[in-house]
């Protein structure tokens, strides 16, 4: 069954009591709120100060509001004339926005960087312009009779804006994310492409030649995107971006292979074979990646710009799992649906109206799904990024090699994350709220990007450097161990000649030990090595008391307890500096209130840690 072919009228009787209550409550709340008005100075704030969240808070809230109100209306949950008026005002309000692209994406071939306000004569096809086009086109499709009963000019306005801001530029222009080779592809490709296809699929009045050109361009982009992936299906952008990469790939494929696709009947249709059939194993691996990044109900292994709690699996994972025959992925989505007591599975904070429609359409099926109880692999290795994942009883461990030029890169080559008994042991911070600095030449001035705020050492005052040449070498892994040389991840001026990191995993005891061994140049004046470890629970000494800012260590083996019950020992250290960081950034606060950096000064050139 093709998802895009199966758009059915929503029947309120198919929506659970929790789902109806969530929609009703959200619609009531939003009916009392005015739509945010986006000022020119709101848009300009990014250019002036680098802040993008103030604009985005308004921009996204308007779309959350419209989606919730539309869904409550078309399902009959809240469907009086005042609700329709609120919908009309919201849709037209979006049409009146000068640009649908976010401020950090507002650039033009001749602008040499971001422009403070949109040039209305040159629409920009960024992620959220395409999202907005999809929203308006699908809303017009869903509300056709109701809107036309008021006046046909509302839907004409929607069609005008979608055509001129999305469809016409897509047909006539080339954007970098459309691709001309597999290299350099990222989540923008399927994310934008999927939303252009949604806009085109539900747009009335497109010429057949226009529609065919859209689908041919989309097919080329999606084929290149799939080819950019290695066979293992690993998303090097992390679990958060899987939902914009892998899941948007899924819906793009659904539209391309729909019975409504003009590729099915075009003269050169033999040039557009099914991509599902051409790359079946790779697409299934892409689909299941999120399963192996998952630690428990809340946490995922995170690297790069990914949060440790990027949110639950929902309807798209469920449908992708069905499409590729993955019981383990369907089970993950079902588990999240079943345990979601706040009915967040209706996606209240989602700007994509099509996703939200699918969530309601398939809610009954998800609720009655019989779990496959398919087991995920205890050990999996993603060779494309040198990512090893171990799930042995109460232990969950992920180690990465790779290089420092990966998508949404942090300087984290050789770092790791670990959980014991579903509790965080050693963490990866993730990223703060995006600002102008995040994607600038000053990116690595941000603390969350630096290797010294990952589980990696500072060697003679040097931390890892950014760039593809700074990478792990001699990487080897199996079900019981990981070994790599990390000397090459540090600047050539760093006096480290050899840095071997090795993990030994004890499956039976659900523990691991890791060793670092260094060789520092004999002629180096600075031979100090500080092992950095990041934790989110208060570190305590063996007596259960808080650690001092500086602790001298004379024991050959030193025990550290975390307040959450995790314990580990370290060997080869002479002192410990404990640094506490109170989190104030709104994005990081969704994951942590406080984090600690433990900085162990080594006695010599070796370090050993054992998680108990």
Q: What is the pLDDT of residues 553-589, one digit of tens each?
A: 999 999 999 999 999 999 999 999 999 999 999 999 9
Confidence of residue 146 (pLDDT cuts 50, 70, 90): very high
pLDDT for the residue numbered 21: 96
Report the percentage of the chain scoring pLDDT > 70: 100
Of all residues in the chain, the percent with pLDDT exceeding 90 is 93
**CB burial class (10 A; 0-12, 13-18, 19+) of residue 1?**
exposed
Rounded CA separation 140/91 (Å) = 9
Phi and psi angles of residue 576, each rounded to the nearest 5 degrees, phi first? -135, 130
What pLDDT, on a 0 to 100 scale, did the predictor assign at position 236? 87
pLDDT at 12: 87
SS3 label, residue 494: coil
Instruction: Kindly state the average pLDDT of the residues 104-125.
Output: 93
Look at residue 355 in the predicted model and tell me its pLDDT. 98
Is the Cα dihedral 505, 562, 307, 475 positive or negative? negative
CB 196 within 8 A of CB 214: yes
Phi-psi region of 319 (alpha: psi -120 to 50; beta: other; left: phi over 0): alpha
Q: What is the pLDDT of residue 112?
A: 80
Cα separation, 554 vs 382, in Å, equals 40
What's the whole-number average pLDDT of the chain?
A: 96
Helix (H/G/I), strand (E/B), else coil: 148: helix
For residues 591 and 584, give the distance between their C-alpha atoms in angstroms, rounded to a whole number: 11
What would the two tokens of residue 182 be?
A: 């597999």
Q: Average pLDDT in the 377-394 region?
A: 97
- State in Å, rounded, how far the first CA of the chain is from the last one: 48
Distance CA 163, CA 173 (A): 13
Tens digits of residue pLDDT in 39-87: 999 999 999 999 999 999 999 999 999 999 999 999 999 999 999 999 9
> Each residue of 531-554: pLDDT tens digit?
999 999 999 999 999 999 999 999
**What is the residue whose two structure tokens read 């009779």?**
145
Q: How far is CA 560 from CA 85, 540, 556, 609, in A?
A: 61, 6, 13, 10
CA neighbor of 382 nearest in space, from 288, 451, 499? 288
> What is the enclosing helix (H) or strand (E) of 59?
helix 53-74
Please report the pLDDT score of residue 113 as a whole number: 81
The alpha helices in 109-238, defined as continuous H runs, are: 127-142, 144-150, 152-162, 168-172, 188-201, 208-228
Closest CA to 455 of 413, 421, 498: 413
Q: Per-residue pLDDT for 180 more than 90?
A: no
Whole-angstrom Cα distance, residue 369 to residue 19? Answer: 17
Strands 481-485 and 496-506: antiparallel
SS (H, E, C) 60-117: HHHHHHHHHHHHHHHCCCCCCHHHHHHHHHHHHHHHCCCCCCCHHHCECCCCCCECCC
Element (H, E) at 358: helix 353-361
| CA–CA gap between residue 358 and residue 341 (Å, rounded) | 19
> How far is C-alpha 257 from the chain's CA centre?
25
DSSP per-residue codes, 497-509: EEEEEEEEEETTT
Query: How many C-beta atoms surround the C-beta of residue 518 within 10 A?
Result: 23
Backbone angles phi, psi at 318, to 5 degrees: -60, -50
Q: Which residue has the tokens 């995993």?
A: 505
How many whole angstroms separate alpha carbon 144 and alpha carbon 146?
6
Least confident of 184-188, 293-297, 325-329: 184-188
Taking CA atoms, 314 is separated from 57, 311, 347, 357, in Å, by: 23, 9, 8, 12
pLDDT at residue 182 in the model: 80
Residue 449 confidence class, pLDDT cut points 50, 70, 90: very high
Q: What is the model's pLDDT at position 505? A: 97
Between the CA of residue 18 and those of 14, 330, 337, 495, 509, what are the distances in Å?
12, 21, 11, 61, 42
For range 469-476, the mean pLDDT: 97
Looking at the DSSP assignment, which residues form a beta bridge with residue 575?
552, 601
CB 433 within 8 A of CB 373: no
User: Would the pLDDT of 183 be above 90?
Assistant: no
C-alpha distances in Å from residue 587, one per residue of 306, 348, 429, 597? 11, 18, 11, 19
pLDDT for residue 185: 86
CA distances from 466 to 124, 483, 490, 599 (A): 30, 21, 9, 22
pLDDT of residue 38: 97
CB 93, CB 117: distance < 8 Å:
no
Mean pLDDT of 223-234: 96
Model pTM greater than 0.75?
yes
Are the C-beta atoms of residues 578 and 541 closer than 8 Å to each other? no
Give how far the C-alpha of residue 579 lies from the chain's centroid of Cα atoms, to the nearest Å: 29
Cβ atoms 249, 226 nearer than 8 A: yes
Tens-place pLDDT, residues 396-448: 999 999 999 998 999 999 999 999 999 999 999 999 999 999 999 999 999 99
Q: What share of the chain is helix, strand, coil (3-state, %, to 5)?
A: 40, 20, 40
Structure letter (DSSP) for residue 163 = I
Range 499-520 average pLDDT: 97
pLDDT at 110: 87
Give the pLDDT confidence of 1-24 residue by residue, as tens digits: 899 998 999 988 889 999 999 999
Q: Which residue has the tokens 């670990």?
A: 418
pLDDT of residue 237: 86
In this prediction, residue 477 carries a pLDDT of 98
Q: Other CB atoms closer than 10 Å to residue 446's CB: what's the count?
A: 16
Pairing between β-strand 567-571 and β-strand 573-582 as defined by DSSP bridges: unpaired
């Amino acid at each position: 069954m093709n998802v895009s072919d199966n758009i059915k009228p929503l029947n309120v009787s198919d929506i659970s009591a929790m789902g109806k209550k969530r929609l009703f409550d959200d619609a009531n709340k939003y009916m009392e709120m005015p739509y945010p008005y986006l000022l020119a100075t709101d848009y300009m704030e990014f250019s002036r100060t680098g802040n993008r969240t103030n604009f985005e808070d308004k921009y996204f809230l308007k779309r959350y509001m419209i989606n919730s109100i539309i869904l409550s209306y078309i399902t009959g949950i809240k469907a009086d004339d005042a609700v329709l008026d609120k919908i009309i005002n919201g849709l037209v309000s979006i049409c009146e926005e000068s640009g649908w692209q976010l401020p950090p994406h507002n650039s033009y071939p001749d602008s040499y960087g971001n422009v403070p306000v949109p040039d209305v004569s040159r629409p920009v096809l960024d992620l959220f312009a395409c999202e907005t086009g999809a929203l308006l086109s699908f809303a017009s499709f869903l509300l056709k009779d109701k809107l036309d009963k008021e006046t046909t000019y509302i839907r004409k306005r929607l069609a005008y804006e979608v055509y001129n801001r999305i469809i016409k530029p897509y047909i006539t222009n080339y954007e970098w994310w459309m691709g001309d080779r597999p290299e350099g592809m990222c989540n923008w490709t399927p994310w934008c492409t999927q939303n252009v296809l949604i806009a085109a699929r539900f747009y009335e009045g497109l010429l057949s030649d226009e529609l065919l050109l859209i689908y041919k361009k989309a097919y080329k982009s999606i084929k290149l995107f799939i080819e950019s992936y290695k066979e293992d299906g690993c998303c090097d952008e992390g679990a958060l971006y899987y939902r914009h990469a892998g899941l948007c790939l899924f819906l793009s494929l659904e539209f391309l292979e729909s019975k409504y696709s003009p590729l099915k009947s075009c003269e050169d249709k033999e040039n557009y074979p099914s991509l599902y059939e051409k790359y079946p194993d790779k697409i299934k691996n892409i689909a299941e990646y999120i399963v192996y990044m998952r630690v428990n109900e809340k946490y995922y292994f995170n690297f790069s710009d990914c949060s440790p709690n990027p949110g639950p699996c929902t309807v798209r994972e469920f449908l992708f799992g069905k499409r590729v025959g993955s019981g383990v992925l369907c089970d993950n989505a079902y588990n999240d649906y079943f345990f979601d007591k706040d009915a967040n599975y209706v996606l209240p904070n989602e700007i994509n109206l099509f996703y939200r429609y699918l969530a309601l359409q398939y809610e009954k099926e998800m609720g009655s799904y019989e779990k496959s109880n398919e087991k995920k692999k205890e050990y999996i290795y993603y060779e494309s990024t040198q990512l090893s994942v171990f799930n042995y009883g109460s232990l969950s461990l992920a180690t990465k090699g790779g290089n420092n030029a990966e998508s949404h890169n942090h300087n984290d080559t050789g770092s790791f994350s670990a959980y014991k008994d579903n509790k965080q042991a050693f963490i990866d911070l993730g990223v703060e709220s995006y600002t102008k600095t995040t994607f600038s030449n000053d990116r690595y001035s941000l603390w969350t990007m630096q290797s010294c705020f990952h589980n990696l050492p500072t060697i003679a005052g040097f931390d890892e450097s950014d760039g593809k040449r700074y990478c792990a070498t001699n990487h080897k892994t199996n079900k019981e161990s990981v070994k790599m040389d990390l000397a090459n991840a540090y600047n050539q001026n760093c006096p480290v000649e050899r840095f071997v990191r090795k993990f030994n995993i004890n499956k039976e005891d659900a523990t691991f030990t890791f060793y670092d061994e260094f060789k520092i140049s004999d002629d180096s004046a600075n031979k100090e090595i500080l092992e950095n470890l990041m934790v989110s629970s208060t570190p305590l000494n063996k007596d259960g008391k808080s650690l001092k800012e500086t602790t001298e260590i004379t024991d050959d083996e030193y025990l550290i307890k975390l307040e959450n019950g995790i314990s580990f020992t370290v060997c080869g250290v002479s002192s410990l500096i404990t640094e506490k960081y109170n989190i104030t950034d709104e994005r990081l606060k969704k994951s942590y209130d406080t984090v600690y950096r433990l900085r162990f000064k080594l006695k010599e050139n070796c370090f050993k840690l054992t998680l108990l």
